[in-house]
Amino acid sequence: MQYNPGWNSSAVNLLHVRARGPRDTLHYVWSSIGAPAVLLVATDSPDSSLSIDWPRLLSPSPAGAVRIDPPGSAVYATAVVFTKVFESSESSPSQELFHPPYDLSDFSWDSLNHTLNSTALTAELRGVPASDPGGSFANGSLAFRVTAYEAHGRARCLPSLLHTPDSSQVEFVLAGVAPRGNSSRFTLEVATVEEPGVAQSLRSERSIDDEYTPTIFEVLSLVAESRTNSSTLSFLQWKATAYGSRSPRREDGIRCQAQGLQEANWTLPPSSIIQAYFGEGVGSTHSVNALNISFGGEEGRVYQEKRYLSWSVLVGFGQPPTDTFSPLVISIMAVALGTPLAMLLVGTCLVLLAQRKRYSEYEPIN
């Protein structure tokens, strides 16, 4: 992890996470210069590096300020931008009131340097609106907590996402923010930038196994695939739940829904890291899609009472991780299904033997 590489000021935030393999390198570039975003670049060189022209990056025209060296080593690039947070509440039993959205490109962000932990590979980007006339953020904040991984494993806290060295986790957190209505429901707008020739699809997978995330049986993935060979290039993966506690438990669950993947017909909010790598005309040269992730519904009062909301999503390259049954679950299923089957077989054998013995006591009637 590198914080603002090549720049001494902490007035802006840029976090570079590099995962180096024997034949390739994966780059994650997180930034809050403009709308908070992450740039993902995969290269075919184990020695590729990030190069930043800081004066150009901080100028009104940042195109070309971010590049990967050596030139031509990048084989795939994508980006995820967190654009807005919407808030709605019930004005009457049949009507929903939408409050003015929070534009994340207008937020003021704390220095990442205060939360960066190079040993645990974690960092937290925390911010508040630059203008907050209603005072909703007087005692609260919005944050994105980033965690990088060096090996396969599973997150300790719910929803216990399964991760690989090719992925990073980001946790969206609203803490202490005063709702502007009764039973407020929040929605996070997420935009993605993809190169030409790449198609995205939203997938939902269900499983009977909720061992690691109790009562949650659905996993959603936003997958980017090559149109030429259908290979999976990158993904966002999350479970259909959020939580209303700092130490989440099953009873703190808040329903999470994905509201349709759509091609964005609006201008991508300014995010210097995106324009710096893809160019100023990124909206016309690349495909931009948007997805709304909503939290709440019948459980809207969970946030009303605890003033806390957290949602975790995995961002990575290649195929999204797939959960399999653990040895414990397989053993339980074997006992649960095997015991009745064994009893049935033994009972059938005993009945057959009893019948054969009973009829063998009689002589045939002449």
Segment 66-113, tens digit of pLDDT: 999 999 999 999 999 999 999 998 766 667 889 999 999 999 999 999
Interval 7-60: pLDDT, tens: 999 999 999 999 999 999 999 999 999 999 999 999 999 999 999 999 999 999
336 vs 6: CA distance, rounded Å = 60
For residue 70, is the peptide bond before it cis, meaning its omega torsion is within 30 degrees of 0?
A: yes
Given a contact cutoff of 8 angstroms between Cβ atoms, the answer to whether 167 and 149 are in contact is: yes
235 vs 167: CA distance, rounded Å = 9
322 vs 333: CA distance, rounded Å = 20
pLDDT of residue 300: 52
332: enclosing H helix or E strand: helix 327-359
Q: Domain residues of the chain, as ranges?
A: 2-317, 330-359
For residue 62, is the peptide bond before it cis, meaning its omega torsion is within 30 degrees of 0?
A: no
Helix/strand/coil for 140: coil
Interval 207-264: pLDDT, tens: 888 888 999 999 999 999 999 998 999 999 999 999 999 999 999 999 999 988 998 8
Given a contact cutoff of 8 angstroms between Cβ atoms, the answer to whether 208 and 217 are in contact is: yes
- Residue where the block lists tokens 């937020």: 107
> Residue 167's closest CA among 236, 98, 250?
236
Mean pLDDT of 126-153: 96
CA angle (121, 123, 126) in 5-degree steps = 170
> How many Cα atoms are found within 13 Å in the side-chain-facing hemisphere of 166?
16
Predicted confidence (pLDDT) at residue 329 exceeds the cutoff of 70: no
- Return mean pLDDT, the chain: 90
Interval 223-232: pLDDT, tens: 999 999 989 9
CA max distance for the chain: 113
pLDDT band at 298 (very low <50, low <70, confident <90, very high): low
40: enclosing H helix or E strand: strand 37-43
Interval 167-187: pLDDT, tens: 999 999 999 999 998 888 999
* CATH 1.50.10 for domain 2-317: no
Given a contact cutoff of 8 angstroms between Cβ atoms, the answer to whether 311 and 293 are in contact is: yes
Spell out the residues 6+ positions from residue 247 whose beta carbon is closer than 8 angstroms to its own.
Answer: 157
173 vs 310: CA distance, rounded Å = 4
> Residue 52's closest CA among 34, 72, 31?
31
Name the amino acid, one letter, at 186: F
pTM (2 d.p.): 0.88
Residues in the chain: 366
- Cα radius of gyration (the chain): 26
Tokens of 122: 């974690």
Mean pLDDT of 339-347: 82
185: enclosing H helix or E strand: strand 185-194
Spell out the residues 6+ positions from residue 352 whose beta carbon is closer than 8 angstroms to its own.
Answer: none
150 vs 19: CA distance, rounded Å = 8
Report H helices in 28-74. 54-57
pLDDT of residue 336: 72
